[in-house]
Amino acid sequence: MNLHLDHDSHTPLYEQIASQVRALIAADRIRVGDRLPPSRVLAGELKVHRTTISNAYAELEADGLIGPHVGRGTFVTARPAAAEPARAAPDAGLPPLFWEALMVEEPHTDRLHEFHQYPSRPDTISFAYALPDSDMFPLEAIRRSVDRVFRKEGPSLLQLGERLGYEPLRKYLAGRMRASGILRADDEILITNGCQQSLDLIDRTLVASGDAVAIENPTYPGALSVFLRKDTRVIGVPVSERGVEIAALEEVLAHQRVKLIYSVPNFQNPTGVTLQVAERRRLIQLARRYRVPIIEDDIYGDLHFDGPALPPLKALDQDGLVIYSSSISKMGFPGLRIGWVVAPRPLVERLSVRKQSCDLHANLLAQATIYELARQGLLEKHLKRIRKTYAERRDAMLQALEEHFPGEACWRKPSGGMAIWVELPDGIDASALLDVAKEGGVIFSPGAHFYVGPPRANTMRLTFTTTGIPQIREGVRRLGAALKRIMKSHRARGNGTPQPGRRNAALV
Ligand code: PMP
């Protein structure tokens, strides 16, 4: 039960609990016949004394709302009468407003929120987040760009602007998108506050209650935050070493009505795999045949280390089926919150109206600053620099894994992006490894965060972009040692030898 206690309030805690449970019953969030948590359990959750819960339950029982069943627990027996007034605390006027009962819908499964919650010591080596290295930000160049645009056009940057985005940046991005075959007409591009907002806008615009969305599994938790609503069917499609499994997707499309496909074809988050060209063509053919649009999330597309980028899905799409989305978050600066969507004109129009009702338009100063950096060639220069550094870090991490991880663990070299996906031997839980690793000052993301439905608990994502090479080596050494310890105690508990590894095999 989601209850919130105000320990500073004049209203006694048992009354706060009773009035919140009463409100939950009134709002049908707890139904007649539902069992309430045992007082010991709820006392533990709320960190209050058990008698506080007993007193709250006694109040509710006196109101005729709940009743005990010998040996089975306490159950809701009735709803409060509709007109029953809220009980006022005797000494403090009205009880605090219970917001949860007023909210119109359950929160989304908040995967992003859960994901950004690893507390860690300041000296912890982090492989947990797919972020740029803050030490590589070209601070001086950005400061000069801000200065210059402010001197040149300060008043208009502080004024409300165009809903589709800051015109010079739109033109610049349009040029870039045209060069890679993504954009055909200039009015097919909308500037947003990043890919996350683009996904949210697309979802609100195209996905209705009861619709199904096909999504790579595992996938980016922020996409799950958007699509995993209680009234959307999210269908996970497995990913292999060549990207999303086209045959499995076809099976889904052939048997279910799917509204949208979500894919990250380049250096997929979390697995790092890239959808191969033949599979890209097959994916477009499938979308054509079943008339299902694809969201192509290309946020990592510019971070290619081993040769030029493969053609984007959008460039292979002759029928306007692909909604292309990217941002500057991975090539540079996630805090500036700038992304863009390229889509057929009617959709861009509707997305921009949605965006307008949400936040009018993206921040003009941030857009102008990025445009200024780009105009001077500094964005490209920065991109070249990070590509080189991140590629070196990836190689250092691969080498360290080779040195320190047991032979039974598997991983694959990503040809770009920010992370390496590791599969541990069967039976080894990456969350248990994280608990041990944290003690040793290393964190990473267990694979469980990225799955639609039941996760593969023996998977983990290691990002290599935020730490220098010496820390990568040290962090992987510590992780390897922790893993070997866990495997040893796993065997000692009589769980047998973990499956022999297929080192560097495609296991996702
Ligand atoms: N898509 C993917 C695949 C991502 O990995 C991320 C960020 N980790 C996002 C979208 C969100 O990015 P943005 O900062 O552009 O909103």
Region 327-334 average pLDDT: 94
Report, as an integer, the average pLDDT of 374-381. Answer: 96
Rounded average pLDDT over 156-179 = 96
Atom in ligand 1 nearest the alpha carbon of residue 334: 14
Average pLDDT, the chain: 91
Kindly calculate the radius of gyration of the chain based on its CA atoms and give it in whole angstroms. Answer: 26
CB atoms within 10 A of CB 459: 25
DSSP lists the bridge partners of residue 443 as 126
* Helix H or strand E segment including 61: helix 50-62
Which of the 8 DSSP states describes residue 495?
I
Q: State the Cα–Cα distance between residues 463 and 475, nearest whole angstrom.
A: 11
Say how many Å lie between the CA of residue 222 and the centre of ligand 1: 7
Residues 392-402 have pLDDT tens digits of 999 999 999 99
As a 3-state breakdown, the chain gives helix, strand, coil percent values, each rounded to 5, of 45, 15, 40
Q: Which tokens in the block code for residue 469?
A: 């090479």
Mean pLDDT highest for which of 85-89, 190-194, 230-234? 190-194
Q: Is the pLDDT of residue 271 over 90?
A: yes
Q: Give the pLDDT confidence of 400-448 residue by residue, as tens digits.
A: 999 999 999 999 999 999 999 999 999 999 999 999 999 999 999 999 9
pLDDT band at 28 (very low <50, low <70, confident <90, very high): confident
List beta partners, residue 217. Answer: 238
**Distance of alpha carbon 501 from alpha carbon 492, whole angstroms:** 19
Pocket lining: 264 vs ligand 1, CB cutoff 6 Å: yes
For ligand 1, whether the C-beta of 334 sits within 6 Å is yes
The per-residue pLDDT for 436 is 94
Q: What domains, with CATH codes, occur in the chain? A: 1-103 (1.10.10.10), 111-134+380-492 (3.90.1150.10), 136-379 (3.40.640.10)
pLDDT band at 379; cut points 50, 70, 90: very high
Whole-number pLDDT of residue 96: 77
pLDDT recorded at residue 504: 46
Higher-confidence residue of 73 and 281: namely 281
Quick check: 109 pLDDT over 70?
A: no
Mutation probe of ligand 1 site: the residue of 112, 195, 297, 367 with most atoms within 8 A of C-beta: 195
Flag whether pLDDT at 165 surpasses 90.
yes
For residue 479, give the H/E element and its range.
helix 469-490
DSSP code per residue over 115-160 = HT-----TT-EEE------GGG--HHHHHHHHHHHHHHHHHHHHS-
Mean pLDDT calculated for residue range 20-49: 87
Could you tell me which residue, 115 or 472, shows the higher pLDDT?
A: 472
**What ranges in 405-468 are assigned the alpha helix state H?**
430-439
With H, G, I as helix, E, B as strand and everything else as coil, classify residue 230. Answer: coil
Q: Which stretch of 69-78, 80-89, 302-311 has the lowest confidence by average pLDDT? A: 80-89
pTM of the model: 0.83
The CA 325 to ligand 1 mean position distance, Å, reads 10
pLDDT at position 506, please? 41
Nearest-CA residue for ligand 1 atom 4 is: 220
Peptide bond preceding 344 in cis form (omega within 30 of 0) = no
